[in-house]
Structure formats: C-alpha cells, structure tokens
Amino acid sequence: MPKIRVAIDGPAGAGKSTIARLLAERLGYIYIDTGAMYRALTLVSIEENIAPDDANALAARLGDLDIRLANGKTYIGHRNISTDIRAPEVDARVSEVCAHPEVRREMVKRQREMAAGGGVVMEGRDIGTVVLPDAELKIFLTASSRVRAERRAGQLRNAKIEYDIDALEKEIERRDRMDSTREDSPLKPAEDAVLIDNSKDSVEETIERVIKIARKRM
C-alpha cells in the first residue's frame, strides 16, 4: 500500500495537532507539527529579546537554530521545549513572527525535506496550499472561536497555567485575522481540501471521519 502525504490545516484550536497525531499513529506515519517549529523560533525571540517585527534578525537566528521534532515533542538542540512553546506569551507573538516571508521560506524548505519520503501527516496553516500543494490528501479543520477557546483553556488547565476564557477567545479571533490576512501564505483551505467543522464532534468522531477519507486515498 503506497504511503501518502496528508496535509491538515486550520485555525488555532481547531484540533489539528490532536487529529494529526492520532491519524499518524493509526496509519503508522510520521507526525510533523509545523506550528511547533514556528513556536520554537517565537520562544527563542522572547528569551533573546528579538523584536517580533525584526524579520532579518528572526531569519538570521532561525538559520542556525536546531529545531527537532521527535516522538511528539519539540526540541531546540537537546532542550525539550514542548511545554514552554505553549505559554500564553508565545501564543500572543507567534502569528507576528511567522508572518515574515524570510522566516516562512526557511521553514517551508525544512518542512518539505521532512515530508520528502511520504508516509507523513503534517499539520499547520499553509500545508495544503504552500508546503505540500501536491499532497495526496488535504484536510481543513475548523470550529467556532468559542469552542476553540474552550479547548485551549483545557490545555492551559492541564499545564497549570492561569487563563481567562474571554481573553482566550479574543486572542484566537485576533490570530485568525492575522493568519488569514497576511500577504505571504495566508490561512485558507486549498481548493481540493476536505472541509471539516468539528465544533460539535468529539475527537474520536473527528478522527474516524478523517481515517475513512484517508483510507480511500491510499
């Protein structure tokens, strides 16, 4: 059975990471969280006081930044940053950091190299439109902003990070606007993507829908 490339896109909190990870596990594929790569750079920019609007400085720092994804975790070198990159400070800055074409070009290059052999489930904002426009299967997940805020609140609760649900929803809506209106690689469904609104669906219901679609493409 040929191993395909699956692209899963969608806005913040749509369940991309959970669905992509579970799909990869069930298909025996490699899971690639491209958002974690942008978050890694964002975290470094915060720690090293690099302004989020300084495209040249961000691109230069990315050039020698060893970002690794392994077993569902994100590393810079040997440092596990999987929890650090989910902090609210990173949430607030990541859309601005990843909007720079200089940054996106290098990230896309790395992501394409990761997917070159097939057998991958890659999730992000522009996988089906830019990174892997010829992927055999493209899924666009979405949900209402309130549902997405509630999901994010659950993640923060588990990490014992304080939050305000209304502020989370406003931040998600702000990120939606930034992601969908940026000049370079805006967030939008690929023309041949399968659209799935999972506002009222459980994780298991969503993953079953996606698996059925995936098996038809294999």
| Over residues 36-48, mean pLDDT | 98
Q: Which amino acid is at 215?
A: R
Torsion sign (Cα): 160, 161, 162, 163? negative
Q: Residue 87 carries which DSSP code?
A: S
- Alpha helices by DSSP H, listed for the chain, are 16-27, 34-47, 55-63, 88-97, 101-115, 145-158, 165-181, 203-217
Q: Provide the pLDDT confidence category of residue 60 given band limits of 50, 70 and 90.
A: very high
Q: What count of Cα atoms within 13 Å lies in the side-chain half-sphere of residue 189?
A: 13
N-to-C CA span, the chain? 7
Residue 183, pLDDT score: 84
User: How far apart, in whole angstroms, are the C-alpha atoms of residue 188 and residue 191?
Assistant: 9
Whose structure tokens read 């009222």?
A: 200
In angstroms, the CA 164 to CA 99 distance is 26
Domain boundaries, the chain: 5-217
CATH class of 5-217: alpha beta
User: Rounded mean pLDDT of 109-134?
Assistant: 95
CA angle 193, 199, 202 (to 5 degrees): 100
- Using CA atoms of 112, 152, 137, 179 in order, give the dihedral in degrees to the nearest 10: -60
Q: What is the pTM of this model?
A: 0.87
For 30-56, what is the mean pLDDT?
Answer: 97
Residue with tokens 């489930």, as numbered in its chain: 121
pLDDT given for residue 178 in this prediction: 87
Q: Look up residue 29 and give its DSSP letter.
A: P
Angle in degrees, 0-180, between the axes of helices 145-158 and 165-181, rounded to the nearest 10: 120
Q: Is the pLDDT of residue 2 over 80?
A: no
Q: How confident is the model at residue 118 (pLDDT cuts 50, 70, 90)?
A: very high
Q: What is the pLDDT of residues 125-171, one digit of tens each?
A: 999 999 999 999 999 999 999 999 999 898 888 888 888 999 999 99
Mean pLDDT of the chain: 94
